[in-house]
Amino acid sequence: GAVVSQHPSRVICKSGTSVKIECRSLDFQATTMFWYRQFPKQSLMLMATSNEGSKATYEQGVEKDKFLINHASLTLSTLTVTSAHPEDSSFYICSARVPGRGYTFGSGTRLTVV
Amino acid sequence: DAKTTQPPSMDCAEGRAANLPCNHSTISGNEYVYWYRQIHSQGPQYIIHGLKNNETNEMASLIITEDRKSSTLILPHATLRDTAVYYCIVRELLQGAQKLVFGQGTRLTINP
C-alpha cells in the first residue's frame, strides 16, 4: 500500500539550533503534503500545507519563518524547525493524499529541545 | 473547526464489540464520514469511510444513520491492540488534496 516514510523518528537538539524532518512518499507521487503538530494528550493541529513547486500555505498562528517547508519534488517534503526552543518540543506528523484512496500518515517525529 | 462531536473516552472488554459514536449534525450532502485511529506515539491510521450506506472492511464496520447526522464505528471483536484514540472526521471527497481537520477524538481503552 501507499506509504509515507518520515525521518527521523526521534531527535533531541539544543536550544537555538535547527532541525530538519523529512517525509517521503514511497510508491506514489504527492503533490500536496500536510504537516501537523501534536502536543501531549492533545489532538493533531494542522500547521501547513506543502505544495510541490510552490510556497507552502500556513495555518493561522504558525510562523512561516520558524517552520520552513520545502516541497521540491513529488516525493519529498521537509519541515525545518529553525532556532528551536523548548516550547517547540512536540510530535510532528506529515500526511499525504493517496489518489483514489484517502490520506496516509507518516510515523511521526518526536522532537525534544533541551 | 472540527465538525464532529465524540465522547472523550470509552472502555471496552477484550473480545467484545466496541461501538464508538460520532455526531455530525451539520454534515452536508456531499461530505463523507472518515474514521482514523492513532495508537500512542504513531501517525494516524485510516480505518474506514462512508457517505450514507453502511460500510464494512477487514478492520471495522461503519453505521451511518438515515439522516446522516450521526454514525457509529464498530470494532466487532476488540483486542488489546485496538487501544487508541479514534477520530471521526467529515469532509468532501473532491479532486485534489484537502486538509483533514482533527477533533479531540475518543480515547478507547480495551481491558483484558
DSSP code of residue B35: E
Query: All 3 cell numbers of residue B47?
Result: 480505518
pLDDT at res. B2: 56
Q: Which of B49, B94, B100 to mutate to test the interface with A (most CBs of A within 10 A)?
A: B100
CB atoms A32 and B97 under 8 Å: yes
A6/B contact by beta carbon, under 8 A: yes
> Stretch B85-102: mean pLDDT, rounded?
80
Residues A31, A37 contacting (CB under 8 angstroms): no
Question: Does A25 contact chain B (CB < 8 Å)?
Answer: no
Verify whether the Cβ–Cβ distance B43 to A97 is below 8 Å: no
Asked if A110 and B41 come within 8 Å (Cβ–Cβ), the reply is yes
Buried b (16+ CB within 10 A) or exposed e, A50-66: bbbeeebebeeebeeee
Confidence of residue B1 (pLDDT cuts 50, 70, 90): low
Min distance B65 CA to chain A CA atoms (Å) = 22
- B100: nearest CB among A103, A106, A110: A103
In chain B, which residues have their Cβ closer than 8 Å to the Cβ of A49? 97, 99
Q: Model confidence at B94, in pLDDT bands (50, 70, 90)? A: low
- Cβ-Cβ contacts under 8 Å for B9 (sequence gap 6 or more): B106, B107, B108, B109
pLDDT of residue A80: 97
Tell me: pLDDT of A30 over 80: yes
Question: Which residue of A46, A102, A105 is in closest CB contact with B101?
Answer: A46
Beta-carbon pairs below 8 A across chains A and B = 50
**Mean pLDDT confidence for A88-104:** 89
Q: Please report, as a single letter, which amino acid is at residue A80.
A: T
What is the mean predicted confidence (pLDDT) over B56-83? 96
- Which cell numbers hold the place of B100? 483533514
Give the closest residue to A93 by CA, choosing from A3, A29, A6: A6
At residue B93, the pLDDT reads 63
Which is higher by pLDDT, B82 or A52?
B82
Percent with pLDDT over 90 in chain A: 78
Which grid cell sits at B104? 479531540
Res B96: pLDDT: 58
Average pLDDT of span B33-54: 93
- Best B4, B39, B46, B51 member to test A by mutation, with max A CBs in 10 Å, is B46
Give the whole-angstrom CA distance, residue A19 versus residue B43. 19
Q: How far apart are CA A100 and CA A60, in angstroms?
A: 29
Residue among A80, A78, A96 at smallest CA distance from A27 = A96
Which residue of A43, A45, A111 is the best one to mutate when testing the B interface, meaning the one whose CB has the most B CBs within 10 A? A43
